[in-house]
Amino acid sequence: MRVRLLIAILPFFLHVAAIGQAVEFSHPSGFYSRPFSLHLRAVDVNPDSAYIIRYTFNGSAPTETSQAYTRPVRLNDACRSQSSIFRLQNSPDAQWQPPKSVERIVVVRAAIFDQAGQQLSEVASASFVIRRMLKRKISLPVLSLSVDSAALFDPDTGIFVPGVSFDPKRPGSTGNYMKRGREWERAVNITYIPHEGSPFSVDGGLRIHGGSQRTLSQKGLSLYARAEYGNKFIDHPFFSDRDLVRYKRLALRPWCASWSGTGIEDWLCQQIAVPLRCDRLAARPVALFLNGEYWGIYFIQEKADEHYVEAVHGVDDSEVHLIGQWGDEIEHGSPDRWMALADWLAQADLSADSNYQYLSTQVDIEAMADYMLLQMFVANVDWPSNNVRYWSAYDFPWRWIFYDADAAFAAGHDPREMMEHVTCNDSSQVYPSSPRASLVFRRLMENEGFLRKMKVRLEELQATAFSPAVVLPLLDVASDAVEDEVPYQLARFTSGMTPEMWRKAVADMGVRMADHASTLGAAFAEFFPIVPAVASLALSPDEGALVCEATDGFEAPLTVYDIYGRPAFSQTVTLAQGANAIALPRLPAGVYFVSLGRGGATVRWRVA
């Protein structure tokens, strides 16, 4: 029986480490309905040499003291990690609320050692989601991260904990998790298990990601591919709305970063942005397990950095200048080009078409218009002083990347508030807007041509990408995708919200979304009134009509004066945008002057 079983499973052996000596698993990472026996096998090892396969279940890489493999391992409850890292405090006291228990999957990491304890192979890693052990089905793809626990929780070097860097007098800005840079990157195995298609595994680097969310128990994370980990890229097509299969870096955005508790705002807004002309980030939700322990709902997302620009726009990353927070953060390249433009813009009069034309060579105007309108539509009140990142390169004008919309569609906020943000010129204001943050927008809106461009584009988006007929189905798709997982997310991080409360929050957000397109149109017209005008005025060849070009549709007074300046005829006429022909009245012979619009053009009219 054992011989037949071994013969049956041999074709299914999966190579995890491909260079030199390696450990093979009889079963690949994946979803399984019930426990099974896992066989390990050494590959490319001298059969006459004495070697030992050692393995772990707690996510850490095996060492010379780890469990030795002597027979197939039955993957059952006893194989799940017993480390309970979820009990280790990883946030300030005021935010620390650990659950009583967490769900666990089985994570196996294995390597070959010689009799002296020398490691002979790379570490092979696999993750197994066994439904009978979980007692439920996980509807989302699973992302399993395996990393040495000390790399996360050691008080001196752990990146997940307050640690030695924490100052209780400054709990919101100190702690090991607030550290940045290569020094605070840790080796990790990344295993992605979709419901359809093959599992994917790669070794890479792990860092804490984001701003204030670093203090949360459910932290933002970043994944890095590097040659030193054995892979220069993360090669997998994660996103159906992006024709890319290769990534240098990826972000993992936590559900808990949401302002409203719905968890899906940023992902939803990125979906709304797909047909727009501005830069946006592809994303998808996953259920994250850290060293086999359930860590809630995350969103794998493209990382807004120079590698993103290279991948999406084909610009060599060495030529990219990437700026954040209006020059306070130099993410990549040099700030010189941006600072020169900002200095010029602070003094420029954009009502002058020559200045506007120059700015059009420095800023992608069409992309900027969509970026601005999108931020206004979703009412991202954590902007524009915050969450701003933009880039340029040789022969590429500045483009803004839409990212971090966790504050979008929040209760009590609407597009009218955004009008105040983009027009802020109060030097005492720093957040959520400031004169510095609104400078580009305010200057552009001084130009009548740009305002009209914005008005036309807004009307287009109100009928398409911003219309309830488009955005509400996107909300349904997003909420449906995560709904089955929401109860487990809420229980894991004890948010105080119930699934029923979550569903109501989503429904309330839908009401606000449906209202925003019309609210934005009204607010835009109120804050940025466009005074319609008669662009040209002339008599028809037979002088029986007045012909004009109107900048917009509006009602205008038509007045005919005699040679002494006395009104001889007056009425209100309705003009359509563009060309118009207006019949003139029958008047006695003489010389008249015809005026159209208040303070408008006047033409001389001789009646024979």
531 — pLDDT class (breaks 50, 70, 90): confident
Mean pLDDT along residues 579-601: 87
Res 533 pLDDT > 90 = no
The dihedral over CA atoms of 445, 451, 454, 459, expressed in degrees to the nearest 10, equals 140
Cα distance between residue 480 and residue 131, in whole Å: 21
Question: Closest Cα to residue 279, out of 287, 270, 292, 288?
Answer: 270
C-alpha 372/C-alpha 356 separation (Å) is 17
| Distances, alpha carbon 196 to alpha carbons 234, 304, 443, in Å | 19, 28, 50
Mean pLDDT of 205-211: 95
What is the three-class DSSP state of 546? strand
Q: Name the least confident of 55-59, 497-501, 536-540.
A: 536-540
pTM: 0.87
Give the Cβ contact number of residue 492 at 10 Å: 23
**pLDDT reading at 3 higher than 70:** no
Contacts of 402 (CB under 8 A, 6+ apart): 269, 270, 273, 278, 279, 280, 281, 371, 374, 375
In the prediction, which pLDDT does 554 show? Answer: 86
pLDDT-above-70 percentage for the chain: 96
Placement of tokens 């813009």 in the chain: 345
Q: Give me the residues paired with residue 289 across strands.
A: 144, 294
- Check if the beta carbon of residue 90 is closer than 8 Å to that of residue 219: yes
d(CA 206, CA 190): 9
Question: Could you tell me which of 39, 18, 12 has the C-alpha nearest to residue 203?
Answer: 18
Q: What is the pLDDT of residue 599?
A: 62
pLDDT tens sequence across 424-434: 999 999 999 99
Q: Where are the domains of the chain?
A: 2-236, 318-527, 534-607
Mean pLDDT of 206-213: 92
Which residue, 38, 42, 18, is CA-closest to 29?
A: 38
47: pLDDT confidence band, cut at 50, 70 and 90?
confident
pLDDT of 10 > 60? The answer is: no
Q: Which CATH number fits domain 534-607: 2.60.120.560, 3.30.360.10, 2.60.40.3080, 3.40.50.2300?
A: 2.60.40.3080
Dmax over CA atoms of the chain, in Å, equals 120
pLDDT tens digit string along 441-478? Answer: 999 999 988 998 999 899 999 999 999 999 999 999 99
* 276 CB-contact burial (10 Å; exposed 0-12 / middle 13-18 / buried 19+): buried
Write down the pLDDT at residue 529: 87
- Structural tokens at position 143: 């992302």
Q: Output the average pLDDT for the chain.
A: 92
Say if residue 487's pLDDT is above 80. yes
Strand spans (E) along 216-280: 220-224, 234-235, 246-247, 249-254
Provide the token pair at 133.
């052990």
Q: Determine whether 395 is exposed, middle or buried from the number of CB atoms within 10 Å of its CB (0-12, 13-18, 19+).
A: exposed
For residue 171, whether the previous peptide bond is cis, meaning omega lies within 30 degrees of 0, is: no
| Residue pair 507/499 in contact by the 8 Å Cβ criterion | no
User: What's the pLDDT score for residue 541?
Assistant: 85
Mean per-residue pLDDT for 257-266?
94
How confident is residue 564, by pLDDT bands cut at 50, 70 and 90?
A: confident
Question: What whole-number distance in Å separates Cα of residue 384 and Cα of residue 434?
Answer: 8
Q: Which residue has the tokens 């990353």?
A: 317
pLDDT of residue 486: 97
Q: What is the pLDDT of residue 15?
A: 35
| pLDDT on residue 17 | 35
d(CA 408, CA 8): 53
Q: How far, CA to CA in Å, does 496 sit from each of 87, 499, 503?
A: 19, 10, 14
